[in-house]
C-alpha cells in the first residue's frame, strides 16, 4: 500500500469507511496491483500464454468433491506437467480453474484474501451464494483481458451448512463475462470438459461414498485426457496424479497422494482390459 507520511503508521486509506471488499479497496487506492484490471494495448492479443485445462466437481454423500488434471499447455506444447489447479478459498469452499494460468493464480490468491478480509470486517463468514457472487464480480472485472485471449474460467465448490439435508454440497460455474450458474450433481470446465461430463453422466449417482466419488472423478479425467490433448492423464512414470479434494462439514481436505496414486494405478490397470472405461451402473 502507499507509504504513510509518518513511517510505521498506517495511511488514511486504512481508516476511510468503505465496503467489506478487499478488491474494491485495492481498486480505489492501488488499482495497479489488480492484474484483472490491466488491459493490453488496442489491437494486441495474447498468444502463447500457458493455459490450464480440465477441472470438475461432483456432489457426494458427505459434501462435494473437486478435482483437476495437472497439465498446462502453450499452443501445441506442454508447458507444465504438475500444475495445481485446485485451491482452497477458505475452510469450506475451493476453486479450480481452467484458462490463462498466470491470471488464474493471481485471481485465486486475491479471492482468498477477499473472503478472509470480508470475515474480518463483518465478523462472520460470507454465505456460499455470496462467495459465488463475489467471484463472478472478479471474473467480470477481467472481461477486457478475456476478450484479448486471457480468459479465466473457474469452478467453485463448497459445503453450505444452510442448505437442506443431503444437498450441502454445491457447485457454481461461470462464464467469461461473470455470469454465475449453479450446477447440480456434477460439472466440468476446460477443453476436456465435454468428455469429462460425458463420463460423469454414466458414472455419477447421488449418495456416492467418498471413494466412489474420487474414482468417478479420476475416470472422468482419464476420459478427458483420452480425447483432449491439452488434458493430462495420470503419469505413472513421473508419479504425477490428478489433484482430488473434498469439502465436508469438517472443512477442506486434499486427498493424500498415496490415496490418489492407489486409485489411479487401479484405474489404469482396469483400462488394460476395458480401454473405454466402465459402463453405467444398471438401474
With the C-alpha atoms ordered 228, 231, 233, 235, is the resulting torsion angle positive or negative? Answer: positive
Per the annotation, the verdict on 53 as an active-site residue is: yes
Q: Which of 65, 85, 70, 87 is CA-nearest to residue 203?
A: 65
Structure-block grid coordinates of residue 210: 467418498
CB neighbour list of residue 130: distance below 8 Å, 6 or more residues apart: none
Phi, psi of 63 (to 5 degrees): 165, -125
Helix, strand and coil in the chain, % to nearest 5: 35, 25, 40
Phi, psi of 187 (to 5 degrees): -165, 160
Is the separation of the CB atoms in 9 and 35 below 8 Å?
no
Catalytic residue among 23, 53, 248, 260: 53
- What is the DSSP secondary-structure string of 103-114? HHHHHHHHHHHH
| Strand, coil or helix: 120 | helix
Structure-block grid coordinates of residue 206: 447421488
Residues noted as catalytic: 53
Amino acid at each position: 500500500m502507499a507509504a504513510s507520511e509518518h513511517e510505521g503508521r498506517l495511511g488514511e486509506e486504512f481508516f476511510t469507511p468503505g465496503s467489506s471488499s478487499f478488491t474494491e479497496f485495492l481498486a480505489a487506492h492501488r488499482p495497479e496491483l489488480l492484474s484483472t484490471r490491466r488491459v493490453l494495448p488496442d489491437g494486441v492479443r495474447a498468444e502463447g500464454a500457458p493455459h490450464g485445462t480440465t477441472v470438475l466437481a461432483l456432489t457426494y454423500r458427505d459434501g462435494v468433491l473437486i478435482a483437476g488434471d495437472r497439465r498446462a499447455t502453450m499452443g501445441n506444447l506442454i508447458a507444465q506437467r504438475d500444475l495445481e489447479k485446485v485451491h482452497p478459498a477458505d475452510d469450506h469452499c475451493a476453486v479450480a480453474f481452467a484458462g490463462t494460468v498466470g491470471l488464474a493464480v493471481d485471481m485465486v490468491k486475491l479471492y482468498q484474501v477477499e473472503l478472509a478480509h470480508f470475515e474480518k470486517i463483518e465478523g462472520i463468514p460470507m454465505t456460499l451464494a455470496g462467495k459465488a457472487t463475489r467471484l463472478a464480480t472478479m471474473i467480470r472485472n477481467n472481461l477486457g483481458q478475456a476478450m484479448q485471449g486471457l480468459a479465466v474460467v473457474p469452478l467453485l465448490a463448497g459445503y453450505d451448512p444452510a442448505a437442506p439435508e443431503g444437498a450441502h454440497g454445491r457447485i457454481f460455474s461461470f462464464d467469461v463475462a461473470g455470469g454465475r450458474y449453479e450446477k447440480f450433481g456434477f460439472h466440468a470446465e476446460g477443453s476436456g470438459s465435454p468428455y469429462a461430463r460425458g463420463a460423469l453422466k454414466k458414472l455419477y449417482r447421488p449418495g456416492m461414498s467418498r471413494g466412489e466419488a474420487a474414482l468417478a472423478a479420476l475416470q472422468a479425467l482419464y476420459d478427458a485426457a483420452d480425447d483432449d490433448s491439452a488434458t493430462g492423464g495420470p503419469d505413472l512414470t513421473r508419479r504425477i496424479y490428478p489433484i482430488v479434494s473434498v469439502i465436508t462439514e469438517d472443512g477442506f481436505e486434499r486427498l493424500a497422494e498415496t490415496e490418489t496414486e492407489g486409485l489411479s494405478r487401479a484405474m489404469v490397470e482396469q483400462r488394460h482390459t476395458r480401454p473405454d472405461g466402465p459402463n453405467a451402473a444398471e438401474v
